[in-house]
Amino acid sequence: MKKSFVAVAMALVLSIVVAPGSSAAVKAGAACKKAGQTSVAGGMKYTCVKKGAKLVWGKGVAVKASPAASAAAGAYTMEKVKANDSSSRCWSVISGNVYDLTKWISAHPGGSGAITSLCGTDGTAAYLGMHRNQSKPESRLAGFLLGPLAK
């Protein structure tokens, strides 16, 4: 009886120590596997970015649940993106995801024109042309995510 209890206890300890796996929380600076991958943990959205030769989770941005995003989750089409093509309602597709960039227009360090040119379009090429593998733009962008573009 005592031997079986010890064996079960050892198995439990080893399973926790050896394979923390998916139960491990994502945190800034921890290793990740694929650049551009995102994960939400503890009210923060983290993006996997390349730092030097390593892939790590970026600083993370607070995630607010917006009524529009929850109501239409997964229902973002290119037609809807094209309908939001002004500085008062600016949506753009970047790497297959739809972002509401309206509030970022006036705050963008490169000027408002850099963002308004993306409104209502697939801005992937323009965005990657300026910000590929940069952690700060990736983490900022994550805060404007609405959801994936419907195929």
Query: Cα–Cα distance between 86 and 75 in angstroms, integer?
Result: 20
What are the tens digits of pLDDT across the range 119-148? 999 999 998 888 887 778 888 888 889 989
State the pLDDT at residue 99: 93
State the pLDDT at residue 100: 94
What are the tens digits of pLDDT across the range 34-88? 887 887 776 778 888 888 888 888 877 777 655 454 445 558 999 999 999 999 9
What are the tens digits of pLDDT across the range 12-37? 444 444 444 443 457 788 888 888 78
Query: Cα–Cα distance between 146 and 93 in angstroms, integer?
Result: 10
Q: Where are the alpha helices (DSSP H) in 67-134?
A: 67-71, 78-83, 112-116, 124-131
Domain residue extents for the chain: 25-148
Give the CATH number of domain 25-148; options: 3.10.120.10, 3.40.50.1000, 3.40.50.300, 3.60.140.10: 3.10.120.10
